[in-house]
Amino acid sequence: MSSNPRAQRTPSGFIDTARVYLKAGDGGNGCSSFRREKYIPYGGPDGGHGGRGGSIWFEASSNITTLSEVAHHPHITASNGCPGGGNRRDGAYGEDKTVYVPCGTVVKRDDSILADLKEDGQRFMVAKGGRGGRGNTAFKTRFNTAPKISENGEPGEKFDAFLELNVLADVGLVGFPNAGKSTLLSVISAARPKIADYPFTTLNPNIGMVSHKGKNFAAADIPGLIEGAHDGKGLGDLFLKHVLRTKLLVHLVDPRGFNGMKPEKAVRVIEKELKEYHPLLAKKVSILVLNKSDLPEAKEVYATLQKKFKKKEIFLISAATGKGLAKLLDRVIKLLPTIKEEQLYKAENKAAAAEAASRGFEIRATEEGTYAVTGAKIEKLIAMTNFAQPDSWDRIRRIFRTIGLDKALKKAGCLPGNYVHIAGREFEWSDEKLPEGRPSKFAYKYRKFEEYGA
C-alpha cells in the first residue's frame, strides 16, 4: 500500500497525478584514430564524432483521459547515441522517446513548471539527450596536426518529474453530492456517468460534449464537494483543481438542501470552498441552478434564492424531465464567447529552477579540508573528458585557468596538497608546471576515480 495518504484516497481507475523518473540518452563517445593507408603519406586524424542521445518528449493526446499508463510505468528512458569510428564515421543518433499524456497535463520538476500541455498534439522536450563527443578530427589545427584527444559523450538529462492532470472543460458542474450533476450531464451530452440515489456516486470527473443550436462545448461533472473540501475533507481537494481550468461554473442546488443544511446555506458553503481553494474560483463567471423543479418545495426555494442572491443569475430546471434546460443552455452558449483568455487559470512557475552562479561554478569548503566545486557547465566538462588521454589533461588544465577556477580556489584558501572534488572525481592541487614549461598557478594531478555518494 502506498505511504502517500493522498494516493490512498485516489479513486481506482482514475489517476490524475504521477511521479516519473526520466533518463535521456547519453551521447556517444568520440573516436581518436589516425588514417593509415598505403601510399597515403599524410593521413592525419580521422576519428568520427559520437551520435546524439535520444530525448524524451511528452505529447498531449485527446484520446487519453488519465495518467494511469504513465503512473504504472514510471521509469522512462531513451536510447544512447552510438560512438564514433575511424575513417570519419560518426555514430548513429539515439532514438527519441515519446510519451503520450492527456490534454491538461502540467509537468513539474521540483517546484518549477516545465510545461503545460493543453492542446491535442502539443509536444514538449522534457529531457534532452546528450550531444555526442567530438572525435580527434575536431581538434586538428595548424599548430596541432595530430591531436590525440577526443571527448566522451555528454550525459543525458535525468531527474524525477511530477505530472498533474487538470481536466479541460468549458463548463464545470459543481455542487453538493446528489444535486443532480451527473443526471444533468447525461441528459445534455452522450456521457454516461454513474447515477444513483446516494452521496458520492461520482468518484471521477466525467466529461461530455454538449451540442446546442450549432454550438459545441465540453462540460465536466466534478465529484460532489462538502464543507472543508479545500482542507482535504472528503474527495474535494483531489478534484477542486479540475475546476480551475473551466471557463464557466454551473452551481447546482438541491431544493432539499444537503444533510440537514438549507439550500441557501449550501450555496454559500460551496462558494466559500471554491474561494478558499483558489481566489480565481471566486472570480469565475457562474450560474446558480436550482435542480429538481418537480419537487413540491422547489418553487418556494427558488423564490428564496432569488431574494438572497439578487446579483446572481438563477435558473429553475429539472434534469430528470428536461424542464428549463433549453433556457439554461441558451445562456451558457451566450456567456462562453464573452469570457476572455486572460480571465482563465494559467499554471504559474512558483519557484524558478536553481541557476548556477554567473561565473559557472561554486566552491564550497568541506569539513574534511577538501573543496567541492559544483556547476552544471564544469560538471559536464568533467563528464565529457577522457582522462585516459594525456592530451585531455593538458586541455582541462587550460580550461580551468581560462574560466577562473584556479584563482577562485586560491581565493577560497586552497593550498598545495588539498583535494578538490568535481563531479565525482578527486583531484590533488599543486603548483607544478605544465609540460610546455609554462608556469601554472594551479595544476591538477589526477589521483584516482571515485564515485562519491554511491
List pLDDT tens digits, range 274-314.
888 878 887 888 899 999 998 988 999 999 999 989 888 89
Query: Of the spans 96-100, 345-349, 359-363, 379-383, which averages the highest pLDDT?
Result: 96-100
SS3 201: coil
Residue ranges and CATH numbers for the domains of the chain are: 13-165 (2.70.210.12), 171-343 (3.40.50.300), 362-449 (3.30.300.350)
DSSP 8-class letter at 237 = H
Question: Is residue 272 over pLDDT 70?
Answer: yes
What global pTM score does this model have?
A: 0.71
Residue in 252, 248, 251 with CA at minimum distance from that of residue 334: 248
DSSP 328: H
Spell out a b/e string for 397-406, using b for 16 or more CB atoms within 10 Å of the CB, else e: beebbebebb
Residue with cell 548513429: 92
Neighbour order of strands in the sheet with 105-109: 75-77, 17-23, 158-165, 105-109, 112-117
Q: Determine the Cα–Cα distance for residues 235 and 5; give it in Å rounded to an integer.
A: 12
Cβ atoms of 50 and 83 closer than 8 Å: yes
* Integer Cα distance of 56 and 114 in angstroms: 13
Residue 124's CB is within 10 A of a number of other CB atoms, namely 16
* 121's grid cell: 498534439
pLDDT tens for residues 252-270?
A: 998 988 878 888 988 888 8
d(CA 254, CA 350): 38
Q: What angle do CA 288, 292, 295 make, to 5 degrees?
A: 130
| Per-range mean pLDDT, top range of 135-139, 206-210, 244-248 | 135-139
Q: Please determine, for residue 240, whether its predicted confidence score (pLDDT) is greater than 80.
A: no
102-111, 275-284, 331-340: the lowest-pLDDT one: 275-284
